[in-house]
Amino acid sequence: MSFDDKLDKLRANTQEIITLNGISALLGWDQQVNMPVAAAEERGQQLALLGGLIYDKTTSQENGELLSDLEAELKNSSDEDLKAEVNLIRRQYNQLTRIPKALNLELIRATTISHGAWAKAKAENDFASFEPHLTHLVELIRQVADCFGPNDHPYDALLETYDPGLKTAEVQAIFGGLRERQVALVRAISEAQQVDDSFRWRTYDVSMQRKLNPILASRLGYDWQRGRLDESAHPFTTGFGLDDVRITTHYSSADALSSVFSTLHETGHALYEQGLNRKQQGTVLASTLSSSLHESQSRLWENMVGRSRQFWKFFYPTLQAFFPENLAEVNLDTFYRGINKVTSSFIRTEADEATYNLHIMLRMELEIGLLSGELKASELPELWREKMREYLGVTPPDDTRGVLQDVHWSGAMFGYFPTYALGNLISAQLWHKLLAEHPEIPEEMANGELSTILNWLRENVHQYGSRYTAAELVRKVTGTGISPDPYLDYLTAKYSDIYRL
């Protein structure tokens, strides 16, 4: 078989796996949006069956032999894109071959059932009913991590799942530097004259929120021919291919802006997926490799754009028109300062930019404790409350607003949370570079024009898909590695203005 024949065969096998993963993702989307609660067990069986097919096709002897042959022939090749494509397929092959099939399928089944248990427990403030599911998932994840040893730290294997090359020590070092400066900033803000955000906590018509959010997503550039907006207990984005990228949000009559910023956040994720290189459709390169990069896109649109004064200079009259009884007497300056108010909140997804990373540090510490065996799932509620007091000075009044608030652990997504904070850092680095190349952007935003931002991200981030790791792409675009300094500088400048520091 010639080199080209082998490559064609490997790509054909990969295309089948991508299609099966798309079907699996569709069932997962339906589970969180439409599926009846009682169907969890059957859905788990369906997803496990698909997972078995994906496992067998990915880890087949044929794939292993094709990879070995192609890698040998590519050693002296100058085609870096082709090398990257084969390396990505190798990564997927190695990841699954190290995990026993039975463990892989049990994890799929258990997470499907666990999601329904979590949703019910959260709604009923009943951690005890979720704890057995979480205990089982932690044990499964420990077994998965053991498959990838030895590592410098057991948590490395989980980080690798979401960000290739990321190490626990590296993240802890970054967080150590972040914590000191962010805590100092939060302390300075707490001693300043506080801003008024009382307008946020009035009753907002949910039916009007449902009409508003699609308008915002459209203005950012979301393609409705290739996506849709639905509701879920926890907002998320999922893609089944380049032409089917869906987002969800949630609505609260007590805070309309919660759904606004959730929609801006998820639209940022979706724009990344919709901007992947169509020439690479059907290959592993037309996918996203780094969760940190993904989060950088959502956080850039949610915060650098969506919480800026310039963005609301244009959009605030529209928001006032939707909610005149709430906002007619609230001027733009009061609104801008109010939506950026720094306060220690219970809920991560509603946290301000100055305190958000503290929520992530808390979760990473708990995950490391669970993985090492130093912490039992049953101990989480009380330890969560202790760490919230330590990090943010507040104590959640219940587990719904405490340990049960996030969906991730029900899906065994241990190792994912750190990518949220790293995404913040990358978003600031990209934003700094973008403004340096296009200083006209603030004025454009004030006129409702956001295409320069999207086009720049398409060219510098989206088109590359899985071609680069987060660290590689950040260096390619900005000339430096991942650094907390631009993010901390951005926060300091922004909040010094808002709080007159």
266 catalytic, yes or no? yes
Q: Are residues 329 and 431 in the same domain?
A: yes
Q: Are residues 184 and 137 in the same domain?
A: no
Sheet holding 237-241, edge to edge: 229-231, 244-249, 237-241
- Residues 82 and 409: their CA atoms lie apart, in Å, by 36
Annotated catalytic residue, options 85, 131, 266, 273: 266
Q: Are residues 143 and 201 in the same domain?
A: no
Cis bond upstream, residue 150 (ω within 30) = yes
The length of the chain, given as a count of residues: 501
Amino acid 33: pLDDT: 94
Q: Are residues 263 and 408 in the same domain?
A: yes
Q: Are residues 335 and 246 in the same domain?
A: yes
Mean pLDDT across the chain: 95
Q: Is the pLDDT of residue 179 over 90?
A: no
Q: Write down which residue in 162, 191, 211 finishes a domain.
A: 162
Amino acid 24: pLDDT: 95
Q: For residue 131, what is the DSSP state?
A: H
438: left (phi over 0), alpha (psi -120 to 50) or beta: beta
Instruction: Determine the structural domain holding residue 25 and report its residue range.
Output: 3-162
Q: Are residues 340 and 488 in the same domain?
A: yes
Residue carrying the six token digits 């330590």: 390
Please report which helix (H) or strand (E) contains residue 242, including its range.
Answer: none
Amino acid code (one letter) for 339? I
Q: Is the pLDDT of residue 43 over 90?
A: yes
Burial 121-149 (b: 16+ CB within 10 A, else e): bbeeeebeebbebbebbbebbbebbeebe
Q: Write down which residue in 116, 142, 162 finishes a domain.
A: 162
Average pLDDT value for residue range 9-22: 96
Q: Are residues 424 and 322 in the same domain?
A: yes
Report the DSSP pairing between strands 244-249 and 237-241.
antiparallel
What are the φ/ψ torsions at residue 458 (nearest 5 degrees)?
-60, -45
Average pLDDT value for residue range 118-123: 95
Q: Write down which residue in 162, 178, 209 finishes a domain.
A: 162
Q: Where are the alpha helices (DSSP H) in 279-417?
A: 291-299, 309-322, 324-327, 332-339, 356-372, 380-392
- Stated pTM of the model: 0.93
* Long-range contact set of residues 46-52: C-beta below 8 Å, sequence gap at least 24: 47/108, 47/109, 47/112, 48/105, 48/108, 48/109, 48/112, 50/20, 50/23, 50/24, 51/24, 51/104, 51/105, 51/108, 52/101, 52/105
Q: Are residues 116 and 196 in the same domain?
A: no
Average pLDDT value for residue range 183-195: 92
* Long-range contact set of residues 146-152: C-beta below 8 Å, sequence gap at least 24: 147/98, 147/99, 147/100, 147/103, 148/98
**In CATH, what number is assigned to the domain containing residue 459?**
1.10.1370.30
Q: In 172-258, which ranges are E strands?
A: 229-231, 237-241, 244-249
Amino acid 195: pLDDT: 95
Average pLDDT value for residue range 231-254: 93
Average pLDDT value for residue range 481-492: 94
Report the DSSP pairing between strands 237-241 and 229-231.
unpaired
pLDDT tens-digit map of 259-311:
999 999 999 999 999 999 999 998 999 999 999 999 999 999 999 999 999 99
pLDDT tens-digit map of 349-362:
889 999 999 999 99
The model's confidence at residue 256, banded by pLDDT at 50, 70 and 90, is confident
- For the chain, the domain total comes to 2
Q: Are residues 480 and 456 in the same domain?
A: yes
Are 95 and 296 within 8 A, CB to CB?
no
- Residues 26 and 302: their CA atoms lie apart, in Å, by 25
What are the φ/ψ torsions at residue 240 (nearest 5 degrees)?
-110, 5
Q: Is the pLDDT of residue 498 over 90?
A: yes
Judged by DSSP in three states, 482 sits in: coil
- Residues 271 and 291: their CA atoms lie apart, in Å, by 14
Closest alpha carbon to 85 in 287, 292, 290, 294: 287
Q: Is the pLDDT of residue 154 over 90?
A: no
Closest alpha carbon to 235 in 223, 249, 253, 254: 249
Q: Are residues 197 and 124 in the same domain?
A: no
Span of 230-234, 323-327, 461-465 with lowest mean pLDDT: 230-234
Amino acid 244: pLDDT: 97
Q: Are residues 81 and 200 in the same domain?
A: no
Question: C-alpha distances in angstroms, 133 versus 26, 27, 187, 417?
Answer: 23, 21, 38, 20
Q: Is the pLDDT of residue 233 over 90?
A: no
List of residues 6+ apart from 107 with CB closer than 8 A: 137, 140, 141, 144, 412
Are 280 and 246 within 8 A, CB to CB?
no
Max distance between CA atoms of the chain, in angstroms, equals 74
Q: Are residues 271 and 342 in the same domain?
A: yes
Amino acid code (one letter) for 110? A
Burial class of residue 210 (count of CB atoms within 10 Å of its CB; 0-12, 13-18, 19+):
middle
Q: Is the pLDDT of residue 12 over 90?
A: yes
